[in-house]
Chains A and B, each alone.
Chain A
Amino acid sequence: MRLYLRLLGAHFRSLLEYETDFLILVAATVLMQVINIVFLAALFAKVPAINGWTFWSVLMMFGAVALAEGVGSLFFDGMWNLAWMINRGDLDYYLVRPYPVVLQVSSHWLGINGLSNIVTGSLMIGAGLAHSAIDWTPWRAAVGVLLLISSIVIKVSLNLATNAVCFWSTSPSPMFAFAMHQVGDLARFPLSIYPVALKAVLGLALPFAFISFFPIAYLLNTGSSRWLGLLTPLVAAYCVGMAALIFKRGLRRYESAGN
């Protein structure tokens, strides 16, 4: 743990060296979220609700995805370099060091854009909660925190699992993981608007819907599948297990680049 933070800290210091770059990235990610909000506001200015979901509830879903993504970028961004490391044979160095390979990979880089996504995502969730009629009990608050943590764990595990697919493909860029990341963006909207096949993909195959939709449906007590949100911690455990398994299997297949 301490070592992990030190590895990230080194990248953080190197990022601060390039001040304008740092600012550009932060500004760009904030801009992206602002544009999402403008889009939602423009949409909901004309329609009161989509399938019973209001502006504030959909804003929370967008916020949850942004927050989970932000944590993934800030603390585990190195995963996105896995394809490149495999292609170049750079993984060799990690294999001989006495520290878990997964953690070395994920601490290989620090996406400072994660910081702004964490802030904007939290603000969006906060605004949504402030405008919702949840009657807070200690139990509900505790479940809420547990769901939030689980949702972040799901996102990070899915990132790892989809990036680990690079062990089998030869591409030097994480195209597959990136495409799946785009699929995950579909889960920013209420799942009920999609056809059955997509519901199955987002709810079961790649459980992106458990990052945003199901937990929020449970908290807001809206929609027809509100209890499914309570499964989020289980789904998180399942995702961690699967990601670890895929990574381990992939690592066994790894055969350097032969320098």
Chain B
Amino acid sequence: MKGYRALARATAKAALAYRLSLLLGMGAVLGQLVALLAVWGVILARSPVNGFTWPQMRAYLLVAFAAGTVVSILGDFRMASRILDGDVALDLVKPIDYQKARLAESLGGLWIEILLIAAVIGVVVALTGGVDIPAGPALALFAASMLILVPLKFLIVYVSTLACFWTQNFMGVQWARLAVVNLLSGALIPLVYLPHWLATAAQWSPFAGLTSTPALIFLGRVHGREALVLVAVQLGWVLVLWFGARLVWRAALRRLTVNGG
């Protein structure tokens, strides 16, 4: 346990040491927030579309921003280059579990991310107006959903990074993942706007848990049993991916050849 805590602290320290990189790294998600706020601000100024009013869409986009920013100080690039270089061999001889160690690393920066999210939300709310906070039970469920999002996001990135055992091209894998997640999680556009078949598929995929589920609960667009089912799906995917990742890892290790040195 102490080992994992040290890894988590190391991430936070690295993030604080390279503050500018940290802020610039948020650029992609922040840019998308600004663009989408502007687009929807113009569209919804006249009338609601698909049942979304402007304040609701604003809240949706803010949740999407928060969901897109947590667990983003990832060691995924580092993990990828260590696999490609063969340095991963050194990680293997350490007396800690590889998957848990990577999880600890990505959790380390969480508090910094939460501070940044709070700052951005504060600025957006000050500039464009307030957001309705849901009532007690819905708020609790929203919090639970955001909490489950953390391991879910880690696992999706982790599994896709393991692809480096099969391909040299981490960049391509990462781009593809980002694009798919952006669409199917509902971060780019709420899932109800997509064609029905695609929306349904996305709803049951692990990606919906990355934005759509917490956002819809926050807006009160889903409640009661329906909301509980969505959160259960989210949790189910965490379990599936956690143990699935172990299988992938085992298969990956069998492929690993590290040149001596």
Cα A27 to Cα B167 with chains together (Å): 14
Is the beta-carbon distance between B34 and A175 smaller than 8 angstroms? no
Is the beta-carbon distance between A175 and B21 smaller than 8 angstroms? yes
Which of B18, B39, B173, B183 is in CB contact (< 8 Å) with A24?
B173
Query: Which of A43, A173, A198 has the most C-beta atoms of chain B within 10 angstroms of its own C-beta?
Result: A43
Q: Which of B7-62 contact A (CB under 8 A)?
A: 18, 20-21, 24-25, 27-28, 30-32, 34-35, 38-39, 41-43, 49-50
Closest CB pairs A-B (n = 6): A21-B169, A179-B27, A24-B172, A28-B176, A25-B172, A179-B24
CB neighbours of A25 from chain B (8 A): 169, 171-172, 175
> What are 10 A-B pairs at a CB distance below 8 A?
A21-B168, A24-B169, A28-B171, A31-B175, A32-B175, A47-B49, A51-B42, A175-B24, A179-B27, A185-B32
Is the beta-carbon distance between A38 and B42 smaller than 8 angstroms? no
Known: A47-B49, A175-B24. A29 touches B175 (CB 8 A): yes
Tell me the interface secondary structure of chain B in the complex.
Answer: helix
CB distance from B191 to the nearest CB of A (A): 10
Is the beta-carbon distance between B167 and A182 smaller than 8 angstroms? no
CB neighbours of B175 from chain A (8 A): 25, 28-29, 31-32, 113
Is the beta-carbon distance between A193 and B169 smaller than 8 angstroms? no
**Can you list, as one digit per residue, whether each of A163-176 has a CB less than 8 Å from chain B (1) or not (0)?**
00000010101011
Q: Report if A257 contacts B (CB, 8 A).
A: no
Cα A194 to Cα B24 with chains together (Å): 21
Q: Which of A167-208 contact B (CB under 8 A)?
A: 169, 171, 173, 175-176, 178-179, 182-183, 185-186, 188-189, 193-195, 198
**Can you list, as one digit per residue, whether each of A4-41 has a CB less than 8 Å from chain B (1) or not (0)?**
00000000000000101100110111011001001100
Query: Which of A24, A29, A176, A185 has the most C-beta atoms of chain B within 10 angstroms of its own C-beta?
Result: A24
Cα A24 to Cα B164 with chains together (Å): 12
Q: Report if B139 contacts A (CB, 8 A).
A: no
Is the beta-carbon distance between A186 and B24 smaller than 8 angstroms? no
Chain B interface: which size bin? 35 or more
CB neighbours of A178 from chain B (8 A): 24, 27
CB neighbours of B99 from chain A (8 A): none
Which of A20, A35, A194 is in CB contact (< 8 Å) with B180?
A35
Q: Report if B119 contacts A (CB, 8 A).
A: no
User: Chain A residue with minimal CB distance to B184?
Assistant: A35
CB distance from A41 to the nearest CB of B (A): 9
CB distance from B27 to the nearest CB of A (A): 4
Is the beta-carbon distance between A185 and B49 smaller than 8 angstroms? no
Supply 11 further A-B pairs (C-beta < 8 A) apart from A113-B172, A193-B41.
A18-B169, A24-B169, A24-B173, A28-B172, A29-B175, A45-B193, A46-B49, A46-B50, A175-B24, A185-B31, A185-B35
Using a CB–CB cutoff of 8 Å, the interface residues on chain A facing chain B are 18, 20-21, 24-25, 27-29, 31-32, 35, 38-39, 42-43, 45-47, 50-51, 113, 169, 171, 173, 175-176, 178-179, 182-183, 185-186, 188-189, 193-195, 198
CB distance from B22 to the nearest CB of A (A): 9
CB neighbours of B228 from chain A (8 A): none
CB distance from A222 to the nearest CB of B (A): 15
CB distance from B137 to the nearest CB of A (A): 31
Cα A119 to Cα B179 with chains together (Å): 18
Is the beta-carbon distance between B27 and A182 smaller than 8 angstroms? yes
Is the beta-carbon distance between A35 and B193 smaller than 8 angstroms? no
Q: Report if B123 contacts A (CB, 8 A).
A: no
CB neighbours of B229 from chain A (8 A): none
